[in-house]
Structure 1
Amino acid sequence: MDKKEDLLKRIQDNYSTLSKSQKIIAEYILNCYDKAAYMTAAKLGKSIHVSESTVVRFANTLGYDGYPELQSALQELIKNKLTTVQRLEMTNETDEISILNNVLKSDIDNIRKTLEELNKDSFKNVIGNIFNAKKIYILGFRSSTAIAEYLGFYLNLILENVTVVKPGVSDVFEQMLRVNSNDLVIGIGFPRYSKRTIEVLKYAKSQEAKIVTITDSLISPLTSVADEVLIAKSNMSSFVDSIVAPLSLVNALIVSVGIKEKEKITDTFEKLETIWNEYGIYSS
């Protein structure tokens, strides 16, 4: 069974063959998926008065190796369904130090998982795509704007063909009007995924541009049009989007591009240092 298949669809397709107890589990997940996603098998069973073993068998019946795999699939799929209020309710801690520890540990875990699971060949291919492109468009909206701006800021110091697509007076489609098969579009999106990002990527794909997406999962809607996908984990600890691992991945892209253009950017930064000193850009 396809691991990317929507969990809720699996439940619906298998519902008629489930046992009475398993149907109770199915109905709870369908109606309270936001709560079920963060329960252990034992806690889920206790809350609906079935045994932990019944919950595990339910996961197996749906084609998962065990409950942790089902839970992981559910957590992935609900990211774009949870409202900000629901995400806020996931934060149970009120003690400041507990929050500090949990958030930092979560970000450390996101970076570790990103390093373990990132497709290294795709990373190399993206570097090649950057150098082969006639023009590079970078876009990311909502909380992903910060990542797009950061990537664009540094790539603009290294390359001369980079444009960050920004919402504003000019519509984003107008900024992408002349995108073509010689160009590269880097789309950045994390839960809750921006609909406009997906629309712009689909337009760029229709114009035969090369598409790279930086997102959190292979089931992200941004991957549907991508030629290359770079996965950076952004598992949330609350209502705030975690962009630590995505920024770390973007740093790696910037450094990789910069090293290949080391001689060129040395001259660039020498000029910049002169300008910065002359105009007092930085505190001495």
Structure 2
Amino acid sequence: MVTPTVVVAGASGFIGRYFRRRFAAEGWQVRTIGRDTSADAQWNDDGGIAKALNGAELLVNLAGRTVNCRYNERNRREILDSRVQTTRSLGVALSRCDEPQRTWINASTGTIYRHAEDRPQSEIAGELGSGFSVSVARAWEDELAAASTPLTRQIPLRIAIVLGRDGGVMGPFRNLARLGLGGHMGRGTQKFSWIHVEDLFHSVLFLHERPELSGPVNAASPYAVDNRELMSLVRRSLGVPFGVPTPAWLLGMGAVIIRTETELVLKSRWVEPRKLVEAGFAFQYPALADALNAISRSSR
């Protein structure tokens, strides 16, 4: 039996590290593309990228600078370039491969949709938003679509906020709750769409195995919660009985101090994974309470 090969681009982040471990555990040979010298190919080496891609069955691109920062001019440029230029490099390299991948799953973001408290945003009927984060998501997906890869199916994966033990947003949320500041943020009515990192991994395998599915695809639990419920569940998972709410004006001041943006907690992200659900994907962690409890247990 031939061992399948996956290329994970942007493999040094929280999701990338998790994917590398899980693919290896599932019997895949893993090649990596990144900025680290330990990667099989670096971003500034087009020939090396093509060599890493050639003959692999699946490409998963997770590259992108963190958005947990102030959106000044320099950071905006780096956030955009880290997504668009890496996607462009992969497209050029794939066009040079004698044996290109069957599937190219390229990270995108559920933030591409508008602020939505009225109804969920599906791949079919979702409405795209406006602003810097949305413009980055549009450019990211446009670059993927521009790649000439006739033998490779392209899927922009619109990922909701990813939860897991070793990264993502859970660290700051848990720290706030432990300090007694784990109440709702702003009005608390904004939706929080999320996905456990294990379900994200299995959604990638699911999409790869189903050639009839094409992008974009939303990767999110089918059960979004609002911010009030989110923070209540975070406190409950930690055994913290009470949390002080944080008004929007105070969040704005705090965001400046810790050098981030309030959009990360105040934008209402209501992402509906209609394609995955209709195709029969089974979530291991569909409910946020179960996901948070599993993360808390694994962190002890």
User: TM-score, normalised on structure 2?
Assistant: 0.24
Higher helix share: 1
Of the two, which has the highest radius of gyration?
1
Higher strand share: 2
